[in-house]
């Protein structure tokens, strides 16, 4: 018996990384998973893997930043399933843009549109499908929504907005039996990290990973599966009294104030896994 038996789960941004790992885990635990993404080729591969393993999943092409697209998606779900039980708002993009006076307006707008507006739109239009039986909404925030990064103010603004938007929805819908929480991943081995910092094979990617290893208390990057496990907990009845929380999955990065001693302690740098 699975922890998500007889539940319908929607996962946006499900093509790769955290989204794909969560789709597979949700399906393994008995959910019927609707995989929504703009990346049709990669999502279909994820869906095929789930089906080949005996799970239930389908693909839906969705641009979360477009109101009409999300509204049509909600109608589709209502017609086919009549409800949803879990919504994992995971779709997001990230890109450096320079300091604020240099930051391209179109890049800021695009990140806000996908990350923050997309979370709002999918929640707004899919919430009515939860109102009768209750459910769980999980939003992907970030440690970058708790603290700031150099040259990434658009992403910081979007993820910070998601963190507090999560709390607002948790209050709004607690009496309807709908729990709303967010997950704040640290640096996770995903294609997005490859795009931002370079792959494991590239010199800049290797340098980034080495720096990230020693600045992370646990001494390594996280895996998509580790984030998916938290998403499963929040989707399941095991978290029935948890709402309005932003749960860090970051190997301990947000636990310290500043990396002073870590910068000069040779044994700390070398003792990574």
Is 234 in contact with 183 (CB distance < 8 Å)?
A: yes
Instruction: Map 183-232 to HEC letters.
Output: EEECCECCHHHHHHHCCCCCHHHHHHHHHHHHHCCCCCCECHHHHHHHHH
Question: Burial level of 82, CB count in 10 A (0-12/13-18/19+)?
Answer: exposed
What is d(CA 74, CA 1) in angstroms, rounded to the nearest whole number?
29
Q: Taking Cα atoms as reference points, which of 27, 19, 33 lies closest to residue 85?
A: 33
Name the token pair of 70: 């999300």
**Residues forming beta bridges with residue 186, ordered by sequence position:** none
What residues have CB less than 8 Å from 141, skipping those under 6 apart?
Answer: 159, 160, 162, 163, 166, 182, 183, 184, 246
Residues 26, 60, 155, 173: which is the catalytic one?
A: 155
Going by the DSSP 8-state scheme, the letter that residue 97 receives in this structure is -
Give the strands of the sheet with 178-185, arranged side by side. Answer: 56-61, 32-37, 8-12, 86-89, 135-140, 178-185, 246-249
Catalytic residue check, 155: yes
Q: With the C-alpha atoms ordered 165, 170, 173, 178, is the resulting torsion angle positive or negative? A: positive
Query: Would you please indicate which residues are annotated as catalytic (active-site) residues?
Result: 155
């Amino acid at each position: 018996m699975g922890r998500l038996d007889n539940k319908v789960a929607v996962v946006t941004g499900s093509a790769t990384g955290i989204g794909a790992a969560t789709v597979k885990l949700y399906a393994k635990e008995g959910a019927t998973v609707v995989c929504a993404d703009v990346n049709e080729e990669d999502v279909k591969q994820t869906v095929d893997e789930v089906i080949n393993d005996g799970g239930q999943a389908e693909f839906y092409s969705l641009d979360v930043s477009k109101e009409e697209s999300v509204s049509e998606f909600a109608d589709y779900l209502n017609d086919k399933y009549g409800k949803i039980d879990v919504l994992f708002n995971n779709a997001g993009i990230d890109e450096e843009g320079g300091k604020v006076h240099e930051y391209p307006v179109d890049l800021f707008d695009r990140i806000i549109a996908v990350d923050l507006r997309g979370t709002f739109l999918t929640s707004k239009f899919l919430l009515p499908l939860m109102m009768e039986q209750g459910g769980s909404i999980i939003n992907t925030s970030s440690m970058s929504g708790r603290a700031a990064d150099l040259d990434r103010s658009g992403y910081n603004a979007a993820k910070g907005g998601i963190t507090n938007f999560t709390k607002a929805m948790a209050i709004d819908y607690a009496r309807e039996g709908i729990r709303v929480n967010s997950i704040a991943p640290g640096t996770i081995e995903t294609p997005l990290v490859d795009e931002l910092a370079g792959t494991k094979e590239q010199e800049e990617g290797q340098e980034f990973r080495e720096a990230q290893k020693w600045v992370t208390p646990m001494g390594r990057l996280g895996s998509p599966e580790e984030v998916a496990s938290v998403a499963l907990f929040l989707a399941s009845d095991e978290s029935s009294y948890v709402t309005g929380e932003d749960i860090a999955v970051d190997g301990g990065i947000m636990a310290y104030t500043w990396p002073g001693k870590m910068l000069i302690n040779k044994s700390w740098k070398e003792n990574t896994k």
